[in-house]
Amino acid sequence: MKTAKVRLFVDQPLGQGQSVVLEPKQAHYLFAVMRLGLGDPVAVFNGRDGEFRSEVTHAGKRGGELVCSIQTSPQSNPPDLWLMFAPIKKARTDFIVEKAVEMGAGRIVPVQTAFTNSERIRQDRLQAHAVEAAEQCGATFVPEVAELQKLDRLMSNWPAERRLMFCDETRAGEAAGLPDASGPWAILIGPEGGFSDAERARLGKMELAYPVALGPRILRADTAAVAALTVWQKALGDWG
């Protein structure tokens, strides 16, 4: 039995014997780029039903079809963890989204702070980037990439049960302790210019906010996102 060399996210139900109709872009990728043909295996997942092995049953220039055979991985969802970050340059924002998927964030939330350099994002492009990251890293879940939201508005409507790991660059060098508390969490990474005094004061007054340092040095925003996810996953997440 051939090993599937391609993983593909499909927004369709999956199950043994289930057919999957390919979109034109998916067909082009499988048959023109990856050079797959009839009978070749493809690993497919939809974020809900786990991963299935499928085989190509129709290969066309503008479409195609797969048929699922067996489930190869059960559905595995990440912890209820949001990663909130201020958008930066395009390539580095892409990096943050990619690493958030790989490291097990359940939702990705771009936020606009007082010193955020970018005032807009392409949510659809970042969501597609999250899908590609899930395809590459073996995940069976694709986190939602939310629209850009203002931090002050988000804080005004903060869920009462969600704890917040607030990564405060002014605490560089201090110990980064987190309470041993399960349940919903969020991580907040600041922009390249850091948080404003007003934002830091407001975050400091939140009952469920925990300001932490990420080591002895001030990190770039994209590096801080990876470091913060590592700290949280090791202490409270699914890294065991």
* Mean pLDDT of all residues in 9-16: 97
136-172 pLDDT tens trace: 999 999 999 999 999 999 999 999 999 999 998 877 7
pLDDT of residue 90 exceeding 70, the answer is yes
Q: Is 228 helix (H, G, I), strand (E, B) or coil?
A: helix
131-142 pLDDT tens trace: 999 999 999 999
105-127 pLDDT tens trace: 999 999 999 988 777 889 999 99
Share of the chain above pLDDT 90, in %: 78
Residue 215 tokens read as 């080591």
Pairing of strands 51-59, 64-73: antiparallel
Give the DSSP per-residue string, 83-150. Answer: EEE---SHHHHHHHHHHHHHHT-SEEEEEE-TT-S-S---HHHHHHHHHHHHHHHT-S---EEPPPEE
59-71 pLDDT tens trace: 988 899 999 999 9
CA–CA dist 79, 96 (Å, integer):
18
CA–CA dist 215, 199 (Å, integer):
22
What pLDDT sits at residue 2? 81
What pLDDT sits at residue 173? 61
Higher pLDDT, 87 or 173: 87
42-56 pLDDT tens trace: 999 999 999 999 999
Question: For residues 238 and 141, is the Cβ–Cβ distance under 8 A?
Answer: no
Give the single-character DSSP code of 169: G
CA–CA dist 144, 234 (Å, integer):
23
Residue with tokens 């790991």: 165
pLDDT of residue 175 exceeding 70, the answer is no
Instruction: Give the orientation angle of helix 90-103 with respect to helix 221-236, to 10 degrees.
Output: 10
Q: Is 196 helix (H, G, I), strand (E, B) or coil?
A: coil
* In this structure, CATH architecture of domain 7-73: Beta Barrel (2.40)
30-43 pLDDT tens trace: 999 999 999 999 99
CA–CA dist 57, 71 (Å, integer):
18
What pLDDT sits at residue 176? 63
Domain ranges across the chain = 7-73, 81-236
List of residues 6+ apart from 132 with CB closer than 8 A: 98
Distances (CA, A) of 161 to 18, 83, 84, 138, 213: 39, 16, 17, 30, 23
**81-236 has which CATH code?**
3.40.1280.10
Q: Is 65 helix (H, G, I), strand (E, B) or coil?
A: strand
